[in-house]
Structure 1
Amino acid sequence: MATAKTENVGPVVMGLNKQNGQLRGQTKPASVQPAPTSQGKNNRVKTSVICTLLPTGNEFEDYCLKRELLMGIFEMGWEKPSPIQEESIPIALSGRDILARAKNGTGKSGAYLIPMLERIDLKKDHIQAIVMVPTRELALQVSQICIQISKHLGGVKVMATTGGTNLRDDIMRLDETVHVVIATPGRILDLIKKGVAKVDRVQMMIMDEADKLLSQDFVVLIEDIISFLAKNRQILLYSATFPISVQKFMAKHLQKPYEINLMEELTLKGITQYYAYVTERQKVHCLNTLFSRLQINQSIIFCNSTQRVELLAKKITQLGYSCFYIHAKMMQEYRNRVFHDFRNGLCRNLVCTDLFTRGIDIQAVNVVINFDFPKNAETYLHRIGRSGRFGHLGLAINLITSEDRFNLKAIEDQLVTDIKPIPSSIDKSLYVAEYHCSNADCDVEEVEEKSGHQQDST
C-alpha cells in the first residue's frame, strides 16, 4: 500500500453537520487519491529494533489452542505471536494473575483475548469474562477484534457496553446468553447493581489501560466491581505505564502475579520525534506547511481542549484539507461514526483531544502532530504512540511555544528520549513505505523560515 502525499485540494465548502466531527473539503472533481484504508496490508518500513517487537520463535500452534480459534487468529493476519503475546498467553492459560507492561501497538489485545477465548466454555450460558477499558472507542475496538477472532468458535457471545448508549438495549441483550462483556466501568457497575449483569461466576477480569482505570476517575468504580466477583477470579492488568495506584491495587487484589515488563526496550523506539519552535499565532501556518511538505498516510493532530479541536478542524478545512474531529463532548453516535470512518481510511487527518490517545490501533497512521504540547510525559507517550504501531516507523512533530519549553525538557528527561529541532529535510524512509519523487528528503525549510525560527540542521 503506497502512501500518498497530503494534497491541498483548493477552495472549500463546508460539508456535513458541524456536530458530527466530519468536515470535508468539497471541490470540483480532481485526481486526488483517497486516504489509504487502515484495514489493508501495511507495507510501511518497520523499525530497526524489530527484533524487540516481532516474534522470537514461538508459533500460536505451540499453545495448544482450539483449531477454530487458530483460524480466527490467522484470518486477523497474525502470523506469529509478538513478545507480549509470547509472555502472556501461556501464563494466562494457566490461570495465574498477570501484571504486564508493554508499549501500545505491540499486540496487547491479542495477549489477553486469545487465552480468554480459549477458556470460554460454550456449554455455560453465563458471563465468564469481563474486559474493562477506560473509553468507549477502545471498547468498540476490542469488541470488534474479539468478535473477529472468535467467529469460528461456534457461538461465543460478545457484548460491548459503555456509557452514553441506551441502557434498555443492554438490559435486553443481557437477557440472552452473553459470555464476554467488554465495558467501561460506570456502565457495567450500573448493570451489576441492577441485577442484570450477573458476574459472580466470572473467571477472568482483564483491565486494559490499567493505569487510567486505576486513576481517581475510575478506581472507586473498579473496587466496587471487584466486590461482586468470585474470590477465585483471575485478574490481568495491561498498560504502558504503572504508577503507584497500580502497585497498591496489585498488592490488594492480585495473587502472586506474573510480572511482564517489555517497556525498557520498546518505549518510543521506531518513532522519530521533532519540534518546531513557533509562536501561538504561527501554529496554523506551520501546520499548513507540514501538510504540504510531508507525505502523510493518515495523521492525528492533538489539541489540549475541545474548543481548540473544533476551531482547528474548521481552520484546516478552510485551508483546503479534509479532516474529521472527535472529542468527549460530542454525541456518542457522532463519535462512533468518526472513529469508524477514520479507521476505514475515509479521511486523511483527524483532530482530537486526549480522548483518542489510549489503545486506539489504526496502523495507517504514520504522522502524529502535537498542535498543543502535552503537560506530562505519560500523555506525550500515549499520544505519539498512535504512530509506529506494532513496529512500524512513525513521525511525531511537536509545535512548541516559549511556554512549552520547560515541559519539553521535563518530558525528555522523564522518558529518557531526545526530541530534536526539526531539520531542513526529513528523510521519508523514516515514516513512509515508498514514494515517487527523485529527492529522498522532505524539504521543510519553509516551516522554519515562516515560523521565524531557523533551526540548527545538526
Structure 2
Amino acid sequence: MSDALADQLKGTSLNDAASEDWKKNLKLPAKDNRQQTEDVTNTKGLEFENFQLKRDLLMGIFEAGFEKPSPIQEEAIPVALTGRDVLARAKNGTGKTAAFVIPALEKINPKVSKIQCLILVPTRELAMQTSQVCKTLGKHLGINVMVTTGGTGLRDDIIRLQDPVHIVVGTPGRILDLAGKTVADLSECPMFIMDEADKLLSIEFTPVIEQLLQFHPKDRQVMLFSATFPLSVKDFSDKNMANPYEINLMDELTLRGITQYYAFVEEKQKVHCLNTLFSKLQINQSIIFCNSTNRVELLAKKITELGYSCFYSHAKMAQQARNRVFHDFRNGVCRNLVCSDLLTRGIDIQAVNVVINFDFPKNAETYLHRIGRSGRYGHLADGWSLRAIP
C-alpha cells in the first residue's frame, strides 16, 4: 500500500463524539503490555475504523483484543474489501488470519442463506483455530461458521449443511467430498481463501484444490496467504488468479523477535539437556518437536517421568484425542506439548514462549514453521535446537 493511499484511508474514520459512545460499552480484555517486534508494530498508523467496517464487526475485533491493524492487515484488508485477488506473504504470528477473516466477515450478507466464503487450511487443528477466529470476530454479525475436516463423520457435516452456513473452514479433501456430493453448494460462493498456501499447493493437495475451484463461480475472489511462496504457488497464481495484488512482508526466511540457540550434544544426552533447559528457562508454555510419532510418545513419557506436566500429539492419534489435547493445551491446562510436524502450520498460541527442536528439522521451511510457533504477534521468545553429535 502506498503512503498516499494510507493517508487517504486515515481520513475516513468517524471522529464525531457520538460515533465513539459505542466503544464505552465494549467488553475489552486486559491490555497486553509485552514488548513486540517491528514486524507487528511498524505500521502506517491506520486504525480499524479507517477501513469503514460494520460497527458490529468492529465490536468483535476490539473485544477480541485487537487494538490497531498489523502491517499485513493494513496491506491486505483494504485490497481484499475491493474484491481483488490477493497473494500475501508474511511471517507467521503477525496477524495473517485476521487479515483475510476481517474482509470476509465484512463482505458476507447474513441474510443470504448460502455459503459465501470457503477457507482452506492444511490441517484439522488449523481449521478449528481459524473457525474460532471467524466466530470470535464475527460474534455480533449473526454469521454461521462451519468447520469440516477428514477424520470426523461425513453424516454430521451433511446434516449441518441442511441449515444456513455462511463460512466453511476445512481441509481440501473433506470439502471436495461435500461439494462432489452436491451437499455443499459453492456455485454462488464468491470468496476462495487459502491459508498456509505453500502446504496446500503441494503435490498431494494441488489436484484437489483445482477441482474445488471448478465448483465456484468464474468471477470468484481468490486469496492466498502463507509465510513461504515456493514455485508451486506462483504456478497456481498464474493459472487461477486474476491480476492478484501481491504483498511480500518477508524478503527472506526470518524469525524476528525469536532468539535462536543451538546445543550440540550426543543423542543419549538429549533428555538430560532438555531437563536442564526446563530448569533454567522461564517457560510460560513450550512446544517440543520430534521427527517421528514414536519419538513423540517416548519423549513425552520421559518428560512426565522427570516431573513436568506434558501432553503429546501426532497424526496417528484419534482425531477426538488430538482435539482434546489441542483444546486443553491452548487453555493452559498443561505447560509442555511434544508433537510431530503436525502442529508446525499456523497454530497460534500466544502463551508459547519457548520452542525446542528435540530432533533437528530436515529443511529450512520446516525449521521456520516450527520455531514460528513461538513469538506470536511480535512477542519475544526463544527457540532451541538440539543437534546430535555424529
Letter in 1 for 2:80: A
Match of 2:52 in 1: 64
Q: Determine the C-alpha separation between the residues in 1 that align with 2:72 and 2:190.
A: 22
Structure 1 position 42, deviation (Å) = 4.6
Are residue 181 (structure 1) and residue 181 (structure 2) matched? no
The DSSP-based 3-state class of the residue aligned with 1:65 is coil
Matched-pair contact (CA < 8 Å) for 1:209–1:359: yes
Letter in 1 for 2:263: A
The DSSP-based 3-state class of the residue aligned with 1:358 is coil
The DSSP-based 3-state class of the residue aligned with 1:249 is helix
The DSSP-based 3-state class of the residue aligned with 1:140 is helix
Structure 1 segment 63-212 matched on structure 2, within 5 A? 63-153=51-141, 155-212=142-199
Name stretches of at least 5 consecutive residues in structure 1 with no aligned partner: 1-38, 404-458
The DSSP-based 3-state class of the residue aligned with 1:380 is helix
Matched-pair contact (CA < 8 Å) for 1:102–1:266: no
Structure 1 position 179, deviation (Å) = 0.6
Match of 1:339 in 2: 326
Structure 1 segment 40-59 matched on structure 2, within 5 A? 42-47=32-37, 50=38, 53-59=41-47
Q: TM-score, normalised by structure 2?
A: 0.91
Q: Determine the C-alpha separation between the residues in 2 that align with 1:57 and 1:319.
A: 48
Q: Determine the C-alpha separation between the residues in 2 that align with 1:220 and 1:213.
A: 10
202-211 or 263-272: bigger deviation: 263-272
| Larger RCO, structure (CA 8 Å, separation 6 or more) | 1
Say what the alpha-carbon RMSD is for the aligned residues. 1.3
Structure 1 position 46, deviation (Å) = 2.7
Matched-pair contact (CA < 8 Å) for 2:89–2:248: yes
Are residue 377 (structure 1) and residue 364 (structure 2) matched? yes
The DSSP-based 3-state class of the residue aligned with 2:361 is coil
Matched-pair contact (CA < 8 Å) for 1:134–1:213: yes
Matched-pair contact (CA < 8 Å) for 1:283–1:371: yes
Residue-pair matches, total: 362
Query: Which has the higher Rg, Structure 1 or Structure 2?
Result: 1
Structure 1 position 55, deviation (Å) = 3.6
Match of 1:294 in 2: 281
Structure 1 segment 232-311 matched on structure 2, within 5 A? 232-264=219-251, 267-311=254-298
Q: TM-score, normalised by structure 1?
A: 0.77
Change (3 A) 1:134 1:322: same
Letter in 1 for 2:76: S
Letter in 1 for 2:103: P
The DSSP-based 3-state class of the residue aligned with 1:58 is coil
Q: Determine the C-alpha separation between the residues in 2 that align with 1:203 and 1:46.
A: 36
Match of 1:402 in 2: 389
Q: Determine the C-alpha separation between the residues in 1 that align with 2:41 and 2:243.
A: 27
Percent identity at matched positions?
A: 68
Q: Determine the C-alpha separation between the residues in 2 that align with 1:372 and 1:40.
A: 37
Change (3 A) 1:40 1:120: same
Q: Determine the C-alpha separation between the residues in 1 that align with 2:64 and 2:176.
A: 32
Letter in 2 for 1:313: A
Matched-pair contact (CA < 8 Å) for 1:42–1:363: no
Match of 2:17 in 1: none
Q: Determine the C-alpha separation between the residues in 2 that align with 1:108 and 1:143.
A: 14
